Amino acid sequence: MINSLEPKIACSYNPDHLVNPARLLWHYTKCPDRKHMSQMFKICPYNPAHHIPNCELYNHMKRCPNAKVQLKLNFRNDEDPWG
Ligand SMILES: [Zn+2]
Ligand SMILES: [Zn+2]
């Protein structure tokens, strides 16, 4: 068993929940802690697997690794009428 070598991401709602990144979205659909904390969190518009505390969403969006891709694509679409 080499499961310990797999990277794990901590659940936003409970850092004790260490989840395989590929299963994070699925985890959030059934996370028991999300049920009573969901109003305190927002979902990143660039990546539905990023569940961010309300007060940190603005900062997160400025440095979200997925935001760069998204903004680049939008910029290209705006600039290139043939694209
Ligand atoms: Zn969780
Ligand atoms: Zn994000």
Please list the pLDDT of the chain residue by residue as tens digits (83 residues). Answer: 555 677 899 999 999 999 999 999 999 999 999 999 999 999 999 999 999 999 999 999 999 999 876 555 555 555 556 65
- Return the CA Rg of the chain: 16
For residue 46, how far is its CA from the centre of ligand 2 (angstroms)?
A: 5
83 CB-contact burial (10 Å; exposed 0-12 / middle 13-18 / buried 19+):
exposed
CA pair distance 44, 70, nearest whole angstrom: 12
For residue 50, how far is its CA from the centre of ligand 1 (angstroms)?
A: 12
pTM exceeds 0.75 for this model: no
For the chain, the domain total comes to 1
Domain range enclosing 70: 3-79
For residue 17, how far is its CA from the centre of ligand 1 (angstroms)?
A: 5
Kindly list the protein residues that place their beta carbon closer than 5 angstroms to ligand 2, a single-atom ion: 44, 46-47, 50, 64
For residue 69, how far is its CA from the centre of ligand 1 (angstroms)?
A: 27
- The pairing of strands 18-19 and 51-53 is unpaired
CA pair distance 61, 77, nearest whole angstrom: 20
